Amino acid sequence: MVPMNRRRLLFVAATLALWAAVPAFAADPLVVKKPDFVMKLATVAPDRTPWSELLKKYKSAVETRSGQRVQVKIFLGGQLGDENESVNKCKRGQIQAVGASTGALASQVPELNVVELPFLFRTAEEADTVVDSVITPAMDRILPKYGLVLGFWSENGFRQFGLKDKPVRRPDDLKGKKMRSQESPVHQEMWNRLGAIPSPIPSTEALTALETGTVDGFDQATLFAVAASWHKTIKYYTVSDHIYQPALIVFNQKWFESLPEDIRTILVEEGRTMQTKGRLGIRKINPGLIKIIEKEGVTVNTLSPDERAVFEKATAGVRGFLRQRQKNDETVSLLDAVEAKLKSLRGGK
SS3 at position 41: strand
Average pLDDT over residues 321-335: 89
Between 210 and 1, residue with greater pLDDT:
210
Count: domains in the chain: 1
Say if CB 189 and CB 206 are below 8 A apart. no
Q: Is residue 4 part of a domain?
A: no
Q: Is residue 3 part of a domain?
A: no
Q: Residue 96 CB: number of other CB atoms within 10 A?
A: 22
The dihedral over CA atoms of 242, 116, 335, 174, expressed in degrees to the nearest 10, equals 50
Average pLDDT over residues 31-36: 78
pTM > 0.75: yes or no: yes
As beta bridge partners, residue 150 has 250
Q: Is residue 278 part of a domain?
A: yes
Within its chain, how far is the Cα of 244 from the centroid?
Answer: 12
Distances (CA, A) of 230 to 35, 148, 243, 295: 39, 31, 18, 14
Q: Is residue 9 part of a domain?
A: no
Q: Is residue 121 part of a domain?
A: yes
Q: Residue 310 CB: number of other CB atoms within 10 A?
A: 15
Q: Is residue 17 part of a domain?
A: no
Give the single-character DSSP code of 186. Answer: H
pLDDT at 21: 35
Helix ranges (DSSP H) in the chain: 4-21, 50-65, 83-92, 102-105, 124-130, 136-142, 185-193, 203-212, 222-227, 253-258, 261-295, 305-315, 317-325, 331-345
Helix ranges (DSSP H) in 114-260: 124-130, 136-142, 185-193, 203-212, 222-227, 253-258
Q: Dump pLDDT digits (tens) for 111-150.
A: 999 999 999 999 999 999 999 999 999 999 999 999 999 9
Residue 217 confidence (pLDDT) above 50: yes
Q: Is residue 238 part of a domain?
A: yes
**Residue 238's domain spans which residues?**
36-345
Q: Dump pLDDT digits (tens) for 225-271.
A: 999 999 999 999 999 999 999 999 999 999 999 999 999 999 999 99
Comparing 12-26, 78-92, 246-260, 297-311, the range with the smallest average pLDDT is: 12-26
Residue 49 confidence (pLDDT) above 60: yes
Shortest CA distance to 216 belongs to which of 187, 191, 241?
A: 191
Radius of gyration in angstroms for the set of CA atoms belonging to the chain, rounded to a whole number? 25
Q: Is residue 87 part of a domain?
A: yes
Average pLDDT over residues 54-68: 96
Amino acid at position 19, single letter: W
pLDDT at 11: 37
pLDDT at 348: 81
Average pLDDT over residues 26-52: 80
pLDDT at 233: 98
CATH number at residue 248: 3.40.190.170
